[in-house]
Structure 1
Amino acid sequence: MFRTYLKVAWRNLKVNRLFSVINILGLSIGLAVTLTLFIYIRHEQSFDTMYPNIDNIQRVLLHTDGDNGQEIWATVPPSLGPTMMTDVANVKYAARTLKNDFGGTASLRVLQQNFTENNLFWVDAELLHIFDIPFIKGQAKGALDRPNTAVLSETTAKKYFGTTDPIGKTFTVDGRYELEVTGVYKDFAKNSTLDCNIMASGITTGFFKKRSWNNASFETYCLLKPNTDLASTELQLQEMLNKNMEKENQWYTFSLQAMKDVHLFSSGYDNAYASRIGDIKEVRNLIYLALLILLIACINYMNLTTARSQKRAKEVGISKTLGSSSSSLIIRFYMETGLVTLISLVIGVLLTSAAMPIFNAIMGQDLSTDLLLNFEFLISLLAIWLVVTLISGLYPALYLSRFKPVIVLKSSVVQSKGNVFIRKGLVVFQFAASVVLIVGVLMISEQMDFIRNQKLGFDAENVVAISINGIKGTDKKDALVSELKGLGNVSSVSLTQGFPGMEVSGRSLSRNEDDKESLNIQTNVTDASVIDVLQLKLLAGRSLPIFKQEKDTLIEVVLNKKAVDYLGYTPDEAIGKTIFISVPNTIVGVVDDFNFASLHEPIGAYAFHNNTGERKSFALVRYKIAASSTTINELETIFKNVAPNTAFEYSFLDNNLEKLYARERRAAKVGFVFSMLAIFIACLGLFGLAAFVGEQRKKEIGIRKVLGASIMGITQMLSKDFVKLVFIAMLIAFPVAYWLMNKWLSNFAFHVDMSYSVFIIAGISALVIALFTISFQSVKAALSNPVKSLRTD
């Protein structure tokens, strides 16, 4: 029986080639999208699962009141880690991590060669035990117990030392620390939140020796004892804080985040050092999008199968007359659906393998199709096949198996109003979904254009940032500035801690030391030239002094207008006033507000200061005209002459700002590609329905042509019903799209307004696409020979 059903299903597919190809193509694309996203989602969900202690590893988070409500930081004070080890009974180990220069690039001197390293972390030795990191050379125990020691990843060891055994060798970091290599560990997996290339002993630096409860710059992980109650542990953290800090001075609280949640549930947290941070919202949106595309493909099958019910009616009637039961017919129709979905699934797997490089390029990933070969995926394929077969074949199988032989054998008309209504409803759903996707793509594109053209309050073009971490001494830094200014294409140079688009030092601004109220403020140690380099608008006063003695304890500051407004001064009134930012500061200038952070956030308070106790990490160089390779070569030559033992690394300021919106640009690309696929699949279904309608009404078309109807008139007649459905789809789609995109735009403090033009363009696009799809079949039917159509039964 099974073999017979299979043969009948195969014959039906061969007889109706056009509809079979449309169904298989639509389902194949839908399944390919689903499988591709399945691989991506499984990768995102697999983060950190390789660590044996994953169930007991927690990251400590800091909660504080920010200018725009509650903020969550991934970094905590330096005292927390060591104190947890002694004061919190549930904690077995605790370890701090601090990315070099608070997230900056390290300059390395290895075997008389210069290198730059983006992933050097200073860590507590306990980190190796918390994550049970496997070693290839040396051993974890004792590897980082001494100051001036470091362990390297396998790839990093080969990069810097080649085939030479690195154990016992030394290298220099930023011209300040000479570290001995005590071990080589296995590279962290691609799905690991930790991505250290070098882990250096934290006790080498003064930062790890400080016992401060105010500065919050350390990511801290802890390993809890088995079967520990999290609520009681968090309570112990609060008790520990109360013991070490006066209640009135506590500007934060702590909580614990499970390691298995760190990757997907940390996108909104501040100050995280990890570069591999996912977003559960993005994952969920991609799941919804994949299911939507697959559903549209399934709807195509249901529509085309039920639309061809007239041709299948007599088959059903004869089968029932000869004794077939409804259940056997349901099995037969499901067999046909299963064969279509199986063929589509095979093609979908092949399309997935072919499309994976494109998907990786769009998403910035390095995913492999190896997952297609493992047992879990094969089980998932079976589940997908069963689900798609069930969804696609449910309505056709039930509908066709209910035909009564007495009725269908007497008449060729079996179209019920319910069937037509459902089919039209499904077409409306397909195009409503397509219109929503078109609106979404257009709005994301508009917002990205807005970001690109938004006036930020400073000029990021023609500015290059050169890392100077490896240069020791103010004399050499001053010499570098002097040499750079001598270049003909350079207009100004400033040494700074950081620049707009990157985190600098977060502090609190108060009117005086006794003021209990404060405002969060970003502080950036720099010099007098920063206003010229960034081309900030000076509202009052002057820039920082050009010269400042190292022993000069007076700290001068240039505030932005947001900070001055908080203090209650006008820009002119603020000049000369003393304020409190950790220590007393004297206001010497006020600049207009500028977007120093992402446009997701409103403009906050910002201060440029000249505290000689803090380090400057970058030389910002402004060009008179756009930088060329020749100019960069000139910069490198000067840099190497001044600092021959330091690696030259640079980046363009406008490129750094672009990185702030990488997630949105990725969403725009993914949305565009998937929207086009969804629309294409919907058009396939519309194409098939138009072909069926033309075939169904061929006698009517023949009679009309004999009576003098024009090709244009017949085309309009066949198209108008479909056009009505597209208009209904627009009426449903527009409110849904408006709500969804308003919700998305609310994530930006600065954004475009929803425009009617977007909906008009989306509506016209959907209408033109539908008309183009329908017209091809309509014109074909109108051009057919009426003699042939009238001679058929």
Structure 2
Amino acid sequence: MFKNYLKIAWRNLKVNRLFSAINVLGLSIGLAVTLILFIFIRHEQSFDTMYTNADNIQRVLLHTDGDNGQEIWATVPPSLGPTMMTDVANVEYAARILKNDFGGTASLRVLEQNFTEKDLFWVDAELLNIFDVTFIKGQAKGALDRPNTAVLSETSAKQYFGAIDPIGKTFTVDGKYELEVTGVYKDFPNNSTLDCNIMASGITTWFFKNPSWYNASFETYCLLKPNTDLASTELQLQEMLNKNMEKENQWYTFSLQPMKKVHLYSAGYDNAYANRIGDIKEVRNLSYLALLILLIASINYMNLTTARSQKRSKEVGISKTLGSSSGSLLFRFYMETGLVTLISLIIGVLLTFTALPIFNSVTGQELSTDSLLNVEFFISLFVLWLVVTLISGSYPALYLSQFKPSIVLKSSIVQSKGNVFIRKGLVVFQFAASVVLIVGVLMISKQMEFIRNQKLGFNAENVVAISINGLKGSEKKDALVSELKGLSNVSSVSLAQGFPGMEVSGRSLSRNEDDKEKLNIQTNVTDASVIDVLQLKLLAGRTLPSFKQEKDTLVEVVLNRKAIEYLGYSPEEAIGKKVHISVPNTIVGVVDDFNFASLHEPIGAYAFHNNTGEGKSFALVRYNAAGNSSTINQLETIFKAVAPNAAFNYSFLDNNLQNLYVRERRTAKVGIIFSVLAIFIACLGLFGLAAFVGEQRKKEIGIRKVLGDSIVGITQMLSKDFVKLVFIAMLIAFPIAYWLMDRWLSNFAFHIDMSYSVFVIAGISALVIALVTVSFQSVRSALSNPVKSLRSE
């Protein structure tokens, strides 16, 4: 019997090629999307699970009161790590990580050649006891115990030393540190939060050797003893803090974050060093989208199968007359669904292999089809096939198997209102989902356009930031500035610690040393030309002085409007006043507010200052737009002449600012692609219902044609009911879309208003898509020969 049912199912698929092809196409796309997102989700969930001690590794987080409520930082004070080792009984090991120059690119001098390295980290030797780092050359034990030592990843060793054995060789970092290579380790996998290319001994640097409880720039990981209670460990951390810092000076508290949650649950944290930061919200949203697309594809099967019910009804009637039970027919129709789903699944897997590289390029992921070649995947595949078969085949199988022979063997069958309502309801659901997706894509696109065109309070165009970490001494830096200013295409040059779009130094602003109220402020050590380079609006006073003696202890500062409003001054009143930002400062100028961080955040307090105790890492160069490529070549020539032993590394300010919104652009791209697929599949469902109506009313159409009705009139008659369905879908979709997009926009401090035009465009788009889809089938029905539809009468 099973074999016979399989043959019948195959014959039905062959006889109804058009409907079978549409069914298979819709389900194949839905399954392929689901499989791709299955790989993505599994990859995201697999982060940091490869470490033997993953269950006992914790990252220490810092909690502090920010300008807009509670903030969580991924970095903590440098004193925390070593103190944990001695004062917290539950901690077995603790290790600090500091990215070179607090996040800057390192300039390397290796074998008389210059290189740049973005992922050089200064670390404690204990890091190798916490994480599994597989050494290819050398040994993990003792590799970083001595200062001026470093270990390289396998890829970095090949890049910098080629075929030469790097063990025992030295290289220079930023012209300051000469490091000896003591080991080479296997590259960290692409699902590891830790992604160092070079790990250098932290005790080489001043910051590791002179830790404090005030600066919070170190990521710190600890290995807890087995079966340790996290709550009791966090209490021990607070006791440790109370022991080492007076209560009134404590501007933060600590908590522990399990290693396996670091990747997906850190999207909103500040100061994280990891390049690979996931977002559990993105994973969930993509999961919902995959399920939605799969559900829409399953609904298509229901509609397209019931659209052929008139033809299948006599088949059912004859089978029941000859003794078939409803149960056997139910099994037979499920068999047919299972066959369609199986074919779709095979095609879906092939589409997955084809589309995965495209998905990687759009999202910036590094997903591999290797994850498809395991037992878990094949079990998941079987479960997916079973679930889709049960969902897709449920309504058609139950509906068709319940036909009564006495009714279906008559010349026509009358459809119950319940069945018609269900089919129309399914189409309304599909198009409501499509309208929500259209609104979402339009709103996200408008917000990203708003971000691109938003006036930031400074001009980031035609400004290039050149890393000067490799330049030794102020003489070299001054010489570079002098040479750069001599270029005809350069209008201004400034040396600075950083620039808008990157973290600089986070401090607290207060009116005096005794002031208990404080405001978080970003401070950037720079010079007089920074206002010209960034084209900031000076509200009062002047810029920083052009010249400052190294031994001059007076610190002058230019504050933004947000900072002086906190101090209670007008721009004019602020000039000459003293404020406290770690040390006393004299206000010499006030600039208008500008967006120095992501538009997710409101504008905060910002200060440009000239404290000689801090270093400048970048030369900011404003150039004329004409001759962009030639200007960069000239900048490189001058840099290499001034600093032959340093690598020339530059970036454009406007590009750096756009990098703040990588996740949003990825969401927009993925949303557009998946929304188009969902709408396409929904159109297949609408096509199915149009085919069903055309089949149900073919005799009516034949009579109308015989009586002289035109093709246009018949098409309008068949289309008007679908227009009603689309309007109903809009009424359902618009409130849902409004609520969802309002929540998404609330993540931005600066965002567009909810525009009604977006809903109008989405509604018109859905209506046009529906009319085009339905009209095709309606015209096809209207063109049919009335003789064929009426000959049985």
Shorter-chain TM-score above 0.5: yes
| Distance change in 2, residues 1:465/1:361 (3 Å) | same
Amino acid at match of 2:39: I
Corresponding residue number in structure 2 for 1:463: 463
The separation in 1 between residues aligned to 2:70 and 2:267, in whole angstroms, is 15
1:748 aligns with: 748
SS of 1:208's partner is helix
Residue 784 of structure 1: CA displacement?
A: 2.2
In structure 2, what is the Cα distance between the partners aligned to 1:452 and 1:757?
20
Corresponding position: 1:221 with 2:196: no
- Do 1:133 and 1:185's aligned partners in 2 also have CA atoms closer than 8 Å? yes
Conserved? CA contact 2:151–2:181, under 8 Å? yes
Find the counterpart in structure 2 of residue 102 from structure 1.
102
Deviation per CA, 1:467-512, whole angstroms, max 9, x where unpaired? 0001010011000000000000000000000000000000000000
For 1:325-364, list aligned pairs within 5 A. Answer: 325-364=325-364
* Residue of structure 2 equivalent to 1:533: 533
| AA matched with 2:80 | L
Give the residue type in structure 2 aligned to 1:286: L
AA aligned to 2:377 is F
Summarize deviations over 1:293-323 as a string: whole Å, max 9, x none. Answer: 0000000011122232222222222222222
> What corresponds to 1:439 in structure 2?
439
- 1:27-66 correspondence runs (5 A): 27-66=27-66
CA distance in 2, matches of 1:632, 1:602: 34
The letter for the 2-side match of 1:257 is Q
Aligned twin of 1:581: 581
1:20 aligns with 2:20: yes
Q: Which residue of 2 aligns with 1:765?
A: 765
Match of 1:513, SS state, is coil
What SS is found at the alignment partner of 1:700? helix
The separation in 2 between residues aligned to 1:792 and 1:344, in whole angstroms, is 37
Match of residue 133 from structure 2: 133
How many angstroms apart in 1 are the aligned matches of 2:336 and 2:774? 27
Q: Which position in structure 1 is the counterpart of 2:310? A: 310
* CA deviation after TM superposition for structure 1 residue 661, in Å: 0.8
2:568 corresponds in structure 1 to: 568
Paired letter, 1:393: G
1:315-350 CA distance string (max 9 Å, x none)? 222222222222211111110000000000000011
1: distance between equivalents of 2:787 and 2:333? 35
Shift of residue 696, structure 1, vs aligned partner: 2.8
Alignment of 1:372-771 (within 5 A): 372-410=372-410, 412-771=412-771
- Map 1:51-90 onto structure 2 (within 5 A): 51-90=51-90
Letter in 1 for 2:740: L
Compared with structure 1, are the counterparts of its residues 551 and 86 closer, same or farther at alpha carbon in structure 2 (3 Å cutoff)?
Answer: same
- Which residue matches 1:210? 210
The structural deviation recorded for 1:146 is 0.3
Q: How far does the alpha carbon of each residue in 1:762-790 deviate from its partner, in whole angstroms, 9 at most, with x for none?
A: 00000000100111111122122323332
Q: Counterpart of 2:209 in 1: which secondary structure? A: coil
- Which runs of 5 or more residues in structure 1 are unaligned? none
- Report the 3-state secondary structure (helix = DSSP H, G, I; strand = E; otherwise coil) of the residue aligned with 2:206: coil
Count of equivalent residues: 793
Q: How many angstroms apart in 2 are the aligned matches of 1:211 and 1:462?
A: 39
% identity of equivalent residues: 87
Q: Which amino acid aligns with 2:651?
A: S
- Counterpart CA distance in 2 for 1:126 and 1:465 is 35
Distance in 2, matches of 1:484 and 1:269, equals 38
- Give the equivalent residue in structure 1 for 2:199: 199
1:158 aligns with 2:152: no
2:53–2:130 contact (8 Å) kept in structure 1: yes
* Distance in 1 between residues matched to 2:14 and 2:730, nearest whole Å: 36
The 3-state SS of whatever aligns with 1:181 is strand
Matched residue type, 1:318: I
Question: In the TM superposition, what whole-angstrom CA distance separates every residue of 1:672-722 from its partner, at most 9, and x where no partner exists?
Answer: 111100000011111122223223322211211111111110000011111
Q: Is the 8 A contact 2:307 2:691 kept in 1?
A: no
| AA aligned opposite 2:512 | N
Counterpart check, 1:371 vs 2:371: yes
CA distance in 2, matches of 1:337, 1:128: 55
Contact in 2 for aligned 1:462/1:627 (Cα 8 Å): no
Q: Are the aligned partners of 2:307 and 2:688 in contact in 1 as well (CA < 8 Å)?
A: no
Q: Deviations over 1:110-151 (max 9, x none)?
A: 000000000000000000110021100000000000000000
Shift of 1:627: 5.0
How much does 1:451 deviate? 0.7
CA distance in 1, matches of 2:242, 2:319: 82
Which sits farther off after the overlay, 688-697 or 133-142?
A: 688-697
- Look up the equivalent residue of 1:209 and give its one-letter code: K
Choose 539-548 or 299-308, whichever is displaced more. 299-308
- Indicate conservation of the 8 Å contact 1:306/1:419, yes or no: no
1:302 alignment partner AA? M
Q: Counterpart of 1:64 in 2: which secondary structure?
A: strand
Structure 2: tracts of 5 or more residues without a match: none
Whole-angstrom distance in 1 between the partners of 2:14 and 2:339: 12
Deviations 1:352-398 (A, max 9, x none): 11111111111011211122221111111111001100110111112
Between the aligned partners of 1:662 and 1:273, the Cα distance in structure 2 is: 16
> For residues 683 and 667 of structure 1, do their structure 2 counterparts lie closer, same or farther at Cα, with a shift above 3 Å needed?
same
C-alpha separation in 2, matches of 1:576 and 1:756: 50
Query: 1:23-62 deviations in whole A, cap 9, x for unaligned?
Result: 1100000001000111111111111111111000000000
> What is the one-letter code of the residue matched to 2:493?
V
Asked if structure 2 preserves the Cα contact closer than 8 Å seen for 1:462 and 1:626, the reply is: no
* Structure-2 separation of matches of 1:470 and 1:77: 26
Distance in 2 of aligned mates of 1:286 and 1:249? 44
Aligned to 1:297: 297
Partner AA of 1:695 in structure 2: E
1:237 equivalent in alignment to 2:226:
no
Give the conservation status (yes or no) of the 8 Å contact 1:309–1:414. no
Q: Provide the C-alpha distance between the structure 1 equivalents of 2:212 and 2:168, rounded to a whole number of angstroms.
A: 33
The one-letter amino acid paired with 1:394 is S
Counterpart in the other structure of 1:181: 181
Preserved contact between residue 544 and residue 609 of structure 1 (Cα < 8 Å)? yes
Shift of 1:600: 0.4
Conserved? CA contact 2:152–2:183, under 8 Å: yes
Distance 1:69 1:627, change over 3 A: farther
The 1-side partners of 2:442 and 2:685 are apart by 24
Say whether 1:148 aligns with 2:145. Answer: no
Determine the C-alpha separation between the residues in 2 that align with 1:508 and 1:347.
59
Judge conservation of contact 1:408–1:414 (CA < 8 Å) in 2.
no
| Distance in 2 separating the partners of 1:726 and 1:100 | 57
Give the TM-score of the pair, scaled to structure 2: 0.99
C-alpha distance in structure 1 between counterparts of 2:129 and 2:110, whole Å:
28
- In the other structure, the counterpart of 1:122 is 122
Cα distance in 1, alignment partners of residues 427 and 788 from structure 2: 31
Displacement after TM superposition at 1:792 (Å): 4.7
For the Cα contact (< 8 Å) 2:423–2:689, is it kept in 1? no
CA deviation after TM superposition for structure 1 residue 109, in Å? 0.3
Do the aligned partners of residues 228 and 204 (structure 1) sit closer, same or farther apart at CA in structure 2, a change above 3 Å counting?
same
1:14 CA displacement: 1.2
- Aligned to 1:115, the other structure's residue is in SS state strand
Task: Work out the CA distance in 1 between the residues paired with 2:385 and 2:776.
Answer: 33
- Give how far 1:414 is off: 4.0
3-state SS of 2:584 partner: strand
318-327 or 518-527, which deviates more: 318-327
